[in-house]
Amino acid sequence: MSDTQHPRRVLRSIGAVLAGMVVGAALSVGTDELLHVIGIAPPLGQLFSDKLLLLATVYRTVYSVGCAYLTARLAPYRPMLHALAGGVIALALGIVGAVLTWNAVPSFGPHWYPVALVLLTLPSAWLGGFLYSRRDAGASKT
């Protein structure tokens, strides 16, 4: 590998992880906003019910799997490593968010919600990377 290719691979790696994270954040915030606009979620500043928080947990987990898949797809090499790197960054951000809001209950909702998001982060990242790797392995056999 030439010296000019190495920095390009590093930038592509960073870009793949950032793309997954930006898409995940946009999808999550966009879905939250859509739920507010169509009246399923309460107005901003009011608490989500446990049912709505469960719904948010489900769609954020689905988005996390999809974004890890995207990260793996965009990765210049070792797609699972990139998917998990995004997962580790998301895990760290989730833990920081949970810690910063922990004592703000009830204004940020019940404790189970951030705990669930934190616990689902790495399995979601792994699943997204696995699904891409499985698809990629199947494509190379044909």
- Structural contact between residues 68 and 128, judged by C-beta atoms closer than 8 angstroms: yes
pLDDT at 136: 61
Q: Residue 35, CB half-sphere, CA atoms under 13 Å: how many?
A: 17
- Structural contact between residues 17 and 77, judged by C-beta atoms closer than 8 angstroms: no
Q: What is the pTM assigned to this prediction?
A: 0.88
Mean pLDDT on 12-19: 97
pLDDT at 104: 80
28-32, 39-43, 125-129: least confidently modelled range: 39-43
2-6, 9-13, 17-21, 30-34: least confidently modelled range: 2-6
Per-residue pLDDT reduced to its tens digit, 56-70 = 999 999 999 999 999
Distance CA(17)–CA(84), nearest Å, equals: 9
Per-residue pLDDT reduced to its tens digit, 80-129 = 999 999 999 999 999 999 999 898 867 778 999 999 999 999 999 999 99
pLDDT at 1: 52
Match 């934190």 to its residue by tokens: 118
Local structure of residue 103 (DSSP, 8 states): G
Return the closest-CA partner of residue 51 out of 123, 133, 112.
112
Distance CA(21)–CA(64), nearest Å, equals: 9
**Residue 31 pLDDT more than 80?**
yes
- Structural contact between residues 14 and 69, judged by C-beta atoms closer than 8 angstroms: no
